[in-house]
Amino acid sequence: MPTILSIQSSARHENSHSRDLSKELIAKLNKSGNFDVQERDLTQTIPHVNEKWLGANWTPKTDRNAEQKAHLELSDKLVEQLKAADVLVIGAPIYNFSVPAALKAWIDMVCRAGDTFKYTETGPKGLLEGKKAYVVIASGGVPVDSPYDFATPYLRQVLGFIGITDVEIIAADGLVANEAASLAKANAEIERLAA
């Protein structure tokens, strides 16, 4: 059974537009019930990369000791979860012009040389090809893909870096100025993409 992996990064659990729109998208994509849907809430225990993590990550797998393996245990699980997914739905509010810290922490945990990308003579190559990603962006005032939006191009770049190049953006921007119109536009895009 194919898998949809929902990655949610909003600090809000109630009244979160990125979470609500992601749920709506997943419901439409899975209307026939053919997908196994998994959710990863990034506001729950995603640590930041630290010196011990880096040391363990750059130690060859065959040389890692028990302590190093323990430092990478969550990261390994996140990588395996991502590898197993066929479709990725990322709910990402724009905080201060970029992605939430929790989403950046997850990205740092899953961008792993030898696991999700590799170095070649011509530069890095993503290893997660053949997956589809939907990025649901919610923004109070920063227009998506404007010069002030550092979240959307960053997410496109990092997904492409690990091999996920089939990326659709669903934008609910301008929520402060006109919430109803912004949500209507995002819902219309969901209907179009899930048709």
For the record, the structure tokens of 36 come out as 């196994």
**Residue 16 is assigned to a ligand binding site:** yes
CB 26 within 8 A of CB 32: no
Which tens digit of pLDDT belongs to each residue from 27-65?
Answer: 999 998 899 999 999 998 799 999 999 999 999 999 999
**Residue 48 is assigned to a ligand binding site:** no
pLDDT, residue 171, reads 97
Give me the mean pLDDT over the 120-142 stretch: 97
Neighbours of 63 (CB within 10 A): 7
- The average confidence (pLDDT) of the chain is 96
**Residue 18 is assigned to a ligand binding site:** yes
Class of domain 3-194: alpha beta
From start to end of 85-188, where are the E strands? 87-93, 117-120, 123-126, 132-138, 166-172
CA distance 139 to 91: 11
- pTM for this structure? 0.95
Percent of the chain whose predicted confidence (pLDDT) is above 90 = 96
CA angle 12, 102, 42 (to 5 degrees): 65
**Residue 10 is assigned to a ligand binding site:** yes
Which tens digit of pLDDT belongs to each residue from 73-95?
Answer: 999 999 999 999 999 999 999 99
CA distance 149 to 145: 6
Q: What is the DSSP letter of 164?
A: -
Give me the mean pLDDT over the 124-152 stretch: 97
pLDDT, residue 44, reads 84
Domain boundaries, the chain: 3-194
DSSP codes of every residue in 40-107: EETTSS-PPP-HHHHHHHTS-GGG--HHHHHHTHHHHHHHHHHHH-SEEEEEEE-BTTB--HHHHHHH
